Amino acid sequence: MNTLLLEPHNGVLHITLNRHGCRNAMSLEMVNELRAVVAQLDSQTRALVISGAGGHFCAGADVKDLVTAGGHLAALNRAFGSLLQEMEAVSQVVIVVLQGAVLGGGFGLACVSDIAIADHKAQFGLPETSLGLLPAQIAPFVVKRIGLTQARRLALTAARFDGVEAERLGLVHFTESDPQALAQRLDEVLGQVLQCAPGANARTKALLLASVDQPLGPLLDQAAQWFAEAVSSEEGIEGTQAFVQKRKPGWCK
């Protein structure tokens, strides 16, 4: 990997965006490397933690790529949308740690996370319209994350805001005051995630995502089937036995 640092540990894959010379701007190479990581995930990986090197998460698209893309601009843009779709759909729990610039594509990446932790001074924004561009691939994920009314305000003003406001909007779940507090919150969240059965988490995540746009009746039918399968699954049996025996189930780290 040329643009990412990967560190697997205890069932968690830590992914660091590593183009700190340009505030981890999202190049096509970085998009392709992130998509390759997502495609190669296996059941041994229970969570992803995505952060940025050099005090920034991601400052958006790499303008150099836009200049050199020529007639391939639409394909370049759509590749980032595919990354967001694929990242949102992974069965693992996706956690982002947000510092410094969280702009454009970085904002979009934050929107597809399951849990977002931010520094209170992090700077969020959708600057595309101030550059004469559109948040083309990001927009649907922003709307899903914070709602249409707030998405319209932010996209049509290119307004910048901090981590405290991001938490108020529901973009992030936790805002911390310093790097040590960020690390402590991450440890706490990971500890909670690893108490949950990975298969049950994967099915639950799929169910929650499906609830956004699938008809209710068929969705509840599917949920009932998944529940029945869970009860008789290896995880379900282990979990209920552990409860009765007053011990931790085998998947707990």
Q: Which residues of 5-32 are buried (b: 16+ CB within 10 A; e: fewer)?
A: eeeeeebbbbbbbbbeeebbbbbbebbe
- Rounded to whole angstroms, the Cα distance separating 181 from 177 reads 6
Query: CA-CA distances (angstroms) from residue 216 to 106, 179, 200?
Result: 32, 42, 21
Centre a 10 Å sphere on the Cβ of residue 77 and count the other Cβ atoms it contains: 17
Task: Please give the model's pTM, rounded to 2 decimal places.
Answer: 0.95
Which strands sit side by side in the sheet containing 4-9, from one edge to the other?
A: 4-9, 12-17, 47-52, 93-98, 115-119, 174-176
- For residue 177, give every residue at least 6 positions away whose Cβ sits within 8 Å of its Cβ, in sequence order, or none: 119, 120
Nearest to 42 by CA among 113, 92, 115: 92
Contact predicate 141/112, CB 8 Å? yes
Task: Return the H-helix or E-strand segment holding 106.
Answer: helix 105-111
Q: Quick one: CA dihedral 214, 218, 223, 226, positive or negative?
A: negative
Contact predicate 97/182, CB 8 Å? yes
- Rounded to whole angstroms, the Cα distance separating 41 from 29 reads 19
**Would you tell me the crossing angle of helices 216-231 and 234-244 to the nearest 10 degrees?**
60
Both structure tokens of 13: 């894959």
What is the model's pLDDT at position 253? 67
Both structure tokens of 208: 């929650």
Query: Which alpha helices (DSSP H) does 125-215 contain, by range?
Result: 139-146, 148-157, 163-169, 179-193, 198-210
- Rounded to whole angstroms, the Cα distance separating 14 from 236 reads 28
Contact predicate 46/198, CB 8 Å? yes
What is the model's pLDDT at position 70? 73
What is the model's pLDDT at position 229? 96
What is the model's pLDDT at position 202? 96
Residues of the chain with pLDDT under 50: none
